[in-house]
A and B are shown apart, each in its own frame.
Chain A
Amino acid sequence: MGEYLKNVWTWFYTIVVGMKITLRHLFAPKVTIQYPDERYPIPSNARNRLQLDPDACNGCLQCSRICPVQCITVETLKVVPNDPEQPKMGDGTPRKIWVTRYDIDFAKCCFCGLCTTVCPTEAIKHTTDFEYSSYTRDGLIYHFSPMTPEKVEQKKKLLAEWNEKQKAAKEAAAKNVASSENKES
């Protein structure tokens, strides 16, 4: 009997204790952050979407080589020495290479940050932007190269012409050498 009454009292008492706790939480400040309206501050070193600074990129391809999921595709083109619009790097030195294509597929990216570590010019960096969802997978492929396809075509042609010229010059030089050798002999 005594045990029974004690049990009943314990049940009642524990319910009161529990209700006290929930009552305290009822008036406690709420922890919810109403996401699209309010945001949790993101640390500035957070590894979210990558951003390329095309001016700083020197097309060394290190990022695309180190990428463990191969999500970075880089294509480059040599700059013709007498190009009328000789480009400059971000720090003013003349550019030797056009970055004709710099694509990152964020559907593949694992945000490991290796590309940012190897980049010699700190052209590729993580940003705090994490809201870039897309309805298609193609929408997640970001094209960072500022060059238009027409310009790329033009530069390709320029390079081809220059290569032709170089080749012709070389052949001419070789002929000259050969003819002079002929004369000498």
Chain B
Amino acid sequence: MEVFNIFDKLLGENILSALVSVILPLIFLIIYALIAILGELKISAWIQERLGPMRTGPYGILQPLAEVVKLIQKEDIVPAGANKLLFNLAPYIIFAGSFAGFAVIPFTAAFVPAEINIGLFYVFAVGAFAVIGIVMGGWASNNKYSLLGAMRSASQMISYEIPGALVILSAAVLANSLDMQKITALQSGPFWNWFLFGGPGDWSKIWILPFTVLLSLIYMVSSLAETNRTPFDIPEGESELVAGYHTEYSGMKFAMFFFAEYSNMFIIASILAVVFLGGWNSPFGSFMSGFWWGIFWFIIKAMFIVFIQIWLRWTLPRVRVDQLMYLGWKVLLPFSLVCFIFISLYRIVY
């Protein structure tokens, strides 16, 4: 068995290496969240032909730091009549759920914090934590808008979990594994070995090429809905629900929700990058590949998908609740089922 965690090799399999493996993704997550917040601000501004933040540091690059400082300074308000325990617990559950997903993300060939052979399934399982946190926060806030937002979020996440799971299932059928490292390793070589283009294999993969492309699009859409991002942000639709489930949160607790959203975005992006874009593999085969290049390619691919998420957010208006349900149950589900069946047939035939 290969060693997937380089720190186990360097430091031995002890508590220290485990600690390093936990802390490194956390540091990465904090830096990534700052960059993503800045990206969100800047891309939204540029799409609207504005400049965005320009006053904090050169070209406003220190704006996310200023926002974090602002959020830390804010008063922590617990509304009267709120269930204090659940109210205080909810943001941490959401964040813990989204951070737990980082355990199986293969940053590079030699480093994945926890090597589990059902990584994809695990990410999906802990991803469902978010729904508990959201419902908890929405219910404990003692606010009708929060509760409505939480209800919408729960129904939305349940509807979109299914097409997403079918996509993951198809990927598992193709790769014959749920281990994220193995799936990545399978797609080594030039970019046409990525599962987006049908995965490794001979020309017969042309039969499933349209289906894999379709699957990646389906996963993109359903993951957007799962992270409650525009155009599926009806749980936090300002015009009807103030801010949805985090209406009553302020200060650091709100920051946790915010942080969890960005962390979820990255997890979704890294699943897409691993399953469809070859993870840490270089798109040019053995050229520009290695330990550091692996990290580079993985982060570049994930950040590109985060960029697409932000881009979509500032392109599309929010969908209606019935449109959301229609899209989830009547479009994505049948399409993903058809793709799944075709891919399974392909696996049987070839």
Q: Given A21, A23, A32, which contacts B50 in the complex, CB threshold below 8 Å?
A: A32
Q: Quick one: given A8-B331, A34-B54, are A22 and B49 in contact (CB under 8 Å)?
A: no
Could you say which of A22, A31, A34 contacts B47, with CB atoms under 8 Å apart?
A22
Query: B50 to chain A: which residues have CB within 8 Å?
Result: 30-32
Given contacts A25-B48, A30-B51, A31-B49, contact A19 B315 (CB under 8 A): yes
Are the C-beta atoms of A15 and B316 separated by less than 8 Å? Answer: yes
User: Number of B residues contacting the other chain (C-beta, 8 Å)?
Assistant: 17
Give the chain A neighbours of B335 by CB distance below 8 A. Answer: 8
Interface members, chain A 45-73 (any B CB < 8 Å): none
A29 to B312, CA, bound (A): 20
Q: How far is the CA of A19 from the CA of B311 in the complex (A)?
A: 7
* B314 interface residue (CB < 8 Å to A): yes
In whole angstroms, how far apart are the Cα atoms of A31 and B45 in the complex? 11
Most buried by B among A11, A15, A22, A29: A22
Contact of B314 among A15, A22, A29 (CB under 8 A): A22
Q: A71 CB to closest chain B CB, in angstroms?
A: 36
CA–CA, A23 to B315, complex, Å? 9
Q: Is the CB of A30 within 8 A of B49?
A: yes
Our pick among B49, B51, B217, B316 for the contact of A18 (Cβ within 8 Å) is B316
**Given A25-B46, A25-B48, A28-B49, A15 contacting B54 (CB threshold 8 A):** no
Encode B308-350 as 1/0 by CB contact (under 8 A) with A.
Answer: 0001101110000000000000010001000000000000000
Contact between A26 and B312 (Cβ–Cβ < 8 Å)? no
Residues of B within 8 A of A19 (CB): 311-312, 315
Q: Which residues of A contact B45 (CB under 8 A)?
A: 30
| Selected contact of B315 from candidates A11, A15, A29, CB within 8 Å | A15
Instruction: Looking at the assembled complex, report how far the CB atom of B223 sits from the nearest CB atom of chain A, in whole angstroms.
Output: 15
Min CB gap B178→A, angstroms: 29
Q: Which of A11, A12, A26, A30 has the most CB of B within 10 A?
A: A26
Q: In the assembly, what is the distance between CA of A31 and CA of B47, in Å?
A: 11
CB-based contact B51/A22 at 8 Å: no
**Given known contacts A8-B331, A34-B54, is B315 in contact with A18 (CB within 8 Å)?**
yes
> Which B-chain residue is minimally distant from A37 (CB atoms)?
B54
Q: Are A25 and B47 CB-contacts (below 8 A) given A8-B331, A34-B54?
A: yes
User: Does B104 count as interface, using CB distance less than 8 angstroms?
Assistant: no
Known contacts: A31-B49, A31-B50. The answer to whether A26 contacts B43 by CB under 8 A is: yes
Q: How far is the CA of A18 from the CA of B317 in the complex (A)?
A: 11
* Min CB–CB distance B40 → chain A (angstroms): 13
Contacts of B315 in A (CB 8 A): 15, 18-19, 21-22
* Given A8-B331, A26-B43, CB of A34 within 8 Å of CB of B51: yes
Q: Contact at A26–B47, with CB atoms within 8 Å?
A: yes
Contacts of B51 in A (CB 8 A): 30, 32, 34
Roughly how many angstroms separate A27 CA and B45 CA in the complex, as a whole number? Answer: 11
Residue ID in chain B nearest A16 by CB atoms? B315
Q: Which A residues lie within 8 Å of B316 (CB)? A: 15, 18
Residue of A nearest to B46 (CB): A26
Interchain nearest-CB distance for B59 vs A (Å): 11
Known: A8-B331, A19-B311, A22-B314. A30 touches B46 (CB 8 A): yes
Q: Nearest Cβ in chain A — how far from B234, in angstroms? A: 17
Return the contact of B311 from the options A8, A23, A30 (Cβ within 8 A): A23
Q: How far is the CB of A8 from chain B (nearest CB, A)?
A: 6
Q: How far is the CA of A31 from the CA of B48 in the complex (A)?
A: 9
A157 to chain B, nearest CB (A): 57
Q: Give B315 Cβ to nearest chain A Cβ, in Å.
A: 4
Contact partners of A21 in chain B: CB under 8 A: 315
* Contacting residues, chain A, for B46 (C-beta < 8 A): 25-27, 30
Shortest A23–chain B CB gap in Å is 7
Tell me the complex Cα distance, A32–B46, Å: 10
Name which residue of chain B comes closest to A7, CB basis: B331
Mark B28-49 against chain A: 1 for CB-CB distance below 8 A, else 0: 0000000000000001011111
Instruction: Say how far A9's CB is from chain B's closest CB, in angstroms.
Output: 11
* Nearest Cβ on chain B to A76's Cβ, whole angstroms: 50
Cα–Cα, bound, A27→B47 (Å): 8
- Compute how far the CA of A19 lies from the CA of B316 in the bound complex, rounded to whole angstroms: 8
Alpha-carbon separation in the docked complex, A25 to B43 (Å): 10
CB distance from A3 to the nearest CB of B (A): 13
A to B CB contacts below 8 Å, 5 in the list: A12-B217, A19-B311, A25-B47, A25-B49, A32-B51
With A8-B331, A19-B312, A23-B311 given, can you name 10 additional A-B contacts, CB distance below 8 Å?
Answer: A8-B335, A15-B312, A18-B315, A19-B311, A22-B311, A25-B46, A28-B49, A30-B49, A31-B50, A32-B51
Residues of B within 8 A of A (CB): 43, 45-51, 54, 217, 311-312, 314-316, 331, 335
Q: Which 3 A-B pairs have the closest CB atoms?
A: A32-B51, A22-B315, A18-B315
